[in-house]
């Protein structure tokens, strides 16, 4: 019930920041995890710790009735692949065990719709599906492994599987935010292969976390999405929102794949601290049709998605207002 204390990870991130606002609006008290002392986040008390040393988090978790775990490492850089496993998989398992020891009663863990994989033929992906562990994406593999670790935890855990969140406040930005920002800057002259994705307002994702905390069934997965789109539909929508032209020609998949491999080799062997310009994992995913059915969340959580065009408008406005497109 509201006024209870929630321990929140990832509060300084894109999704986690919106989850924090929704928790506070619902009347919860929030204790937020930060890796460095001196960090302040408005509206909550701070706890210092690191997911890589989860045994040290027991004391910080004491006094919290609930846990909402949004933190994760998301990177296309080859140098970060081992760290993603350590943070996303081992960190999640360790945090949930620390929460159990500290007396936390219930946890919500943020996963990803990537763990259910692509739509199957004419059928949308659902919570009953699991992505093939083919190694196409180190991040997605880490989220599959993190889900399995969460489901094995000795603590009631509800899994929230957002699709592709978009909206204001994506400072880093995430890969989706980077796509929106690059379009707003006029930096997407050509379209990648015509795959598909599900786009969702980040505010909807945040509200779904609170609903999952209050109404979700333990050890259940809930897909949280908005609108199933083809990538060409996304370009048209962004063109309408920004007033800029949609890409006029398409990059052949073979060319994109070759560019991705060259960039992968550059990051592995020549410039090991570099971020890829053409992420090979992103190229591989570009042909996938990541369309989902969110009916389970609608029935069990009362989830109702808002129009995704509004989320794109809010994202573009936020980037322009904060000087990202100058």
The rounded percent of the chain whose pLDDT value lies above 70 is 98
In a domain, 300, yes or no: yes
In a domain, 312, yes or no: no
Q: What is the pTM of this model?
A: 0.93
Q: How confident is the model at residue 191 (pLDDT cuts 50, 70, 90)?
A: confident
Average the pLDDT over 250-254 and give the result.
87
- Supply the pLDDT for residue 122: 83
In a domain, 91, yes or no: yes
In a domain, 12, yes or no: yes
Retrieve residue 148's tokens.
Answer: 């399995």
Instruction: List Cβ<8 Å contacts ≥24 apart for 274-280.
Output: 274/77, 275/75, 275/76, 275/77, 276/76, 276/77, 276/78, 279/76, 279/175, 280/76
Give yes or no for a contact between 250 and 287, defined as CB atoms under 8 angstroms apart. Answer: no
Max mean pLDDT among 33-47, 98-112, 135-149 falls in 98-112
> Which tens digit of pLDDT belongs to each residue from 69-107?
999 988 888 888 889 999 999 999 999 999 999 999 999
- Supply the pLDDT for residue 133: 66
Lowest-pLDDT choice from 26-30, 53-57, 61-65, 144-148: 53-57
Which residue range is the domain that position 108 belongs to?
A: 5-167+199-226+291-306
Distance CA 98, CA 185 (A): 44
In a domain, 296, yes or no: yes
Number of structural domains found in the chain: 1
- Supply the pLDDT for residue 38: 66
89 or 190, greater pLDDT: 89
- CA torsion through residues 87, 12, 181, 303, sign: positive
Q: Roughly what angle, to the nearest 10 degrees, separates helices 14-25 and 202-215?
A: 50
CATH of the domain at 122: 3.40.50.720
- Supply the pLDDT for residue 256: 85
Lowest-pLDDT choice from 9-13, 136-140, 200-204: 136-140
Retrieve residue 325's tokens.
Answer: 């497109």
User: Is the pLDDT score of 112 beyond 70?
Assistant: yes
Q: How confident is the model at residue 260 (pLDDT cuts 50, 70, 90)?
A: confident
In a domain, 247, yes or no: no
Retrieve residue 273's tokens.
Answer: 């601290």
User: Is the pLDDT score of 2 beyond 70?
Assistant: no
Cα end-to-end span (Å), the chain: 45
User: Is the pLDDT score of 221 beyond 70?
Assistant: yes
- Supply the pLDDT for residue 167: 98
């Amino acid at each position: 019930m509201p006024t209870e204390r929630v321990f929140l990870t990832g509060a300084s991130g894109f999704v986690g920041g919106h989850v924090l606002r929704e928790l506070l609006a619902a009347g919860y008290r929030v204790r937020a995890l930060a890796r460095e002392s001196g960090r302040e986040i408005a509206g909550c008390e701070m706890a210092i710790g690191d997911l890589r040393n989860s045994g040290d988090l027991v004391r910080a978790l004491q006094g919290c009735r609930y846990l909402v775990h949004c933190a994760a490492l998301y990177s296309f850089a080859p140098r970060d692949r081992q760290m993603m496993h350590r943070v996303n998989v081992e960190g999640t398992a360790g945090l949930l065990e620390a929460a159990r020891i500290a007396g936390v009663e219930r946890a919500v863990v943020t996963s990803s719709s990537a763990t259910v994989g692509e739509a199957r033929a004419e059928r949308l992906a659902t919570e009953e599906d699991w992505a093939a562990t083919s190694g196409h994406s180190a991040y997605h593999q880490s989220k599959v492994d993190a889900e399995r670790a969460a489901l094995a935890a000795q603590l009631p855990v509800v899994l929230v599987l957002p699709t592709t969140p978009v909206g204001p406040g994506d400072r880093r930005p995430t890969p989706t935010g980077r796509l929106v920002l690059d379009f707003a800057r006029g930096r997407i002259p050509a379209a990648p292969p015509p795959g598909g994705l599900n786009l969702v307002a980040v505010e909807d994702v945040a509200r779904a976390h609170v609903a999952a905390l209050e109404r979700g069934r333990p050890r259940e997965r809930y897909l949280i999405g908005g609108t199933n789109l083809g990538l060409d539909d996304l370009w048209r929508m962004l063109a309408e929102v920004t007033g800029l032209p949609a890409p006029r020609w398409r990059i052949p998949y073979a060319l994109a794949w070759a560019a991705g491999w060259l960039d992968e080799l550059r990051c592995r062997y020549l410039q090991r601290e570099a971020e890829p310009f053409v992420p090979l994992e992103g190229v591989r995913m570009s042909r996938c049709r990541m369309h989902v059915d969110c009916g389970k969340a609608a029935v069990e959580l009362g989830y109702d998605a808002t129009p995704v065009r509004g989320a794109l408008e809010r994202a573009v406005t936020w980037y322009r207002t904060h000087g990202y497109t100058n």
